[in-house]
Structure 1
Amino acid sequence: MREDRPPPSWLGDVSAGVDAWTQRASAPPSAPADGPDDTPGDTPDGTGQERPSGRRSSARGTRRTTGGRRTRRTPPPDDVAALGPPADPEAVARKILLDQLTGQARSRKELADKLAGKDVPPEIATALLDRFEEVGLVDDEAFARAWIASRQPGKGLARRALAQELRRKGIDDEVARDALDEIDPADEEEAARRLVRKKLRSLSRVDDQTATRRLVGMLARKGYSSGLAFSVVREELADAGRDEPDIDLD
């Protein structure tokens, strides 16, 4: 009969291995439900798999607390240093002016109004506009001539209508007058005739008296004097084979 001998010292304690094999080992403590660093094995059932739940935490700035309430995470404060130093007002104003002048000439008043709308300090706006005039980037005289060259033949506008438009653009009356004096009266009359011929095509079904009133009214809105308007309408009606009626335009 063998004596019960103690296990040899080299064998070690095998109880931990047996417990692990038979799953008798106690589960490790679970991490808090709202902890950001959950790892596999930290779930309540010890399986490492997240248990389905209708209270899943939202990824859109909220999280679930242990009491089940949702709290909104406060975003981190802006890094003021990363935003850099505040913009130089003069540099900002200069960029505004250059953007406005890209591809299109503008009057000084238009540019001044734009700077004022952007809250550029008046002293900076005035200094920059003066500098832009010195280098020729702002030129009301050239602007007025270019405006007339595009609006007079393109829209058929007469001197009076063009003068009103230039005044709205902030062009000085004397500057506008000098530019308007360059309009050839023959060109102005030809523009009026083109307008009448084009409009006549849509007046074929109205009587001559109605056609005359509408044509003269159209030319008046374009800035033509009543004398020139009536003369052009009468001649164009005659060329179209229509009799111009005896009508009082006053």
Structure 2
Amino acid sequence: MGRPRRAPEPPAHGAAGLDAEPDATEVARTVALRLLAAAPRSRAQLATKLADRGVAEDVAAALLDRFEEVGLLDDAAYAEMLVRTRHAERGLARRALVAELRAKGITGEVAEVALEQVDDEDEEASARALVARRAPATRGLERDRRRRRLGGMLARKGYPPGLAMRVVDAELAAEDDAAQAEDDGGA
């Protein structure tokens, strides 16, 4: 019988025979649209992903320019959404938000405008809410250890040390006052 014959490469008919190599622009468009359908992204993030997929830089730049023209890509809106949600949901301070924006490829004026949403009062209110929520889990620990843990939690979220310790001390003092009032009222 012998060995089976191999099909000619590329095939003489069918889709592979007509277009052996897909159009680079179509590949880039498909990749970018799939990424944007999964989650909002910055221009820099999409450019990196396209480069990882082997899309030529000039093809990627032209595609991303077109996406910006038609409104599929907007770094300013993305930055504002990122700042708003990360501050509200995770309680991140401006310093942590700057780092997150930078990691997403958003810097300069676009980042500054987005960060204007969070002022000093918002930052302090967020820090107070975080400490109030986490303080009960530290009850039973000695005061200095509680202070370090709560302050460290705020520091990891980007809060300045002075603000962090002021908020922690105020919460611990309020707990002490409440406990003292309870003892006085119950006696």
Higher relative contact order (CA 8 A, sep 6+): 2
Report what 1:127 is aligned to. Answer: 62
- Say yes or no: does 1:183 pair with 2:113: no
**Root-mean-square deviation (CA), in Å?**
2.0
Larger Rg: 1
One-letter amino acid matched to 2:127: A
CA separation in 1, counterparts of 2:165 and 2:57?
A: 49
Report what 1:193 is aligned to. Answer: 128
Report what 1:234 is aligned to. Answer: 169
Write the deviation string for residues 141-193 of structure 1: whole angstroms up to 9, x where unpaired: 11100001110011110000000010011102221111101213322222111
Question: Per the alignment, in what secondary structure is the counterpart of residue 160 of structure 1?
Answer: helix
Instruction: Report how many aligned residue pairs link the two structures.
Output: 173
Question: Per the alignment, in what secondary structure is the counterpart of residue 202 of structure 1?
Answer: helix
Residues 22-37 of structure 1 mapped to structure 2, 5 A cutoff: none
Seq. identity, %: 45
One-letter amino acid matched to 1:180: L
Q: Which structure: greater helix fraction?
A: 2
Residues 67-146 of structure 1 mapped to structure 2, 5 A cutoff: 73-74=3-4, 76-77=6-7, 80=11, 81-82=13-14, 83=16, 84-85=18-19, 86-146=21-81
In structure 1, runs of 5+ residues without a counterpart are: 1-34, 36-70, 244-250
One-letter amino acid matched to 2:61: T
Report what 2:104 is aligned to. Answer: 169
Residue 242 of structure 1: CA displacement?
Answer: 6.9
In structure 2, runs of 5+ residues without a counterpart are: 179-187
Moved >3 Å (runs of 4+): 73-76
One-letter amino acid matched to 1:166: L
Tell me the TM-score normalized by structure 2: 0.85
One-letter amino acid matched to 1:105: P
CA separation in 2, counterparts of 1:242 and 1:75?
A: 89
Question: Per the alignment, in what secondary structure is the counterpart of residue 61 of structure 2?
Answer: helix
Question: Per the alignment, in what secondary structure is the counterpart of residue 87 of structure 1?
Answer: coil
